[in-house]
Amino acid sequence: MLLLSGESVVRQYRIALGREPAGHKRAEGDGRTPEGRYLIDRRNPRSKYHLALHISYPNEGDRTRAEEAGLDPGGDIMIHGVKPGVDHPAADWTQGCIAVTDAEIEEIWGLVADGTTIEIYP
């Protein structure tokens, strides 16, 4: 994951994604991470994964695609720390979130404001 200021890379992070990382998230429980343009729209300082920044998934397009397919798009997608007792994001294990180390989410928490646009691409 790249943290950018304009076109300049400020930081780079190794991440873990959803347990089924290939392809855009379509539905609750599919284990995929959303792809596209979203916002950081709120924070959870008491996340069971240390700290968490909420991603504005699903957007209108995500909801429409899910509805047309008869699916629930899901939600509650975050950038967060790792599982308790784990030091680094090893294999892809989340339910669709983006995981970094606890130290890294603390850094990101301090650098990224609510309302920041994020782009998630494969």
Q: Which residues contact 105 (CB under 8 A, 6 or more apart)?
A: 49, 50, 51, 52, 53, 79, 80, 81
106 token code pair: 């603390």
Using the predicted structure, report yes or no on whether residue 75 has a pLDDT greater than 80.
Answer: yes
pLDDT-derived band at 71 (thresholds 50, 70, 90) equals very high
Using the predicted structure, report yes or no on whether residue 107 has a pLDDT greater than 80.
Answer: yes
* Phi/psi-derived region of residue 48, left when phi > 0, alpha when psi is between -120 and 50, beta in every other case: alpha
| Nearest alpha carbon to residue 27 among 64, 66, 60 | 66
Q: What is the mean pLDDT of the chain?
A: 91
Q: What is the pTM of this model?
A: 0.89
Mean pLDDT (whole number) for 62-86: 91
50 token code pair: 């240390």
Count other C-beta atoms under 10 Å from residue 94's C-beta.
23
All structural domains of the chain, each given as residue ranges with its CATH number in brackets, are: 15-120 (2.40.440.10)
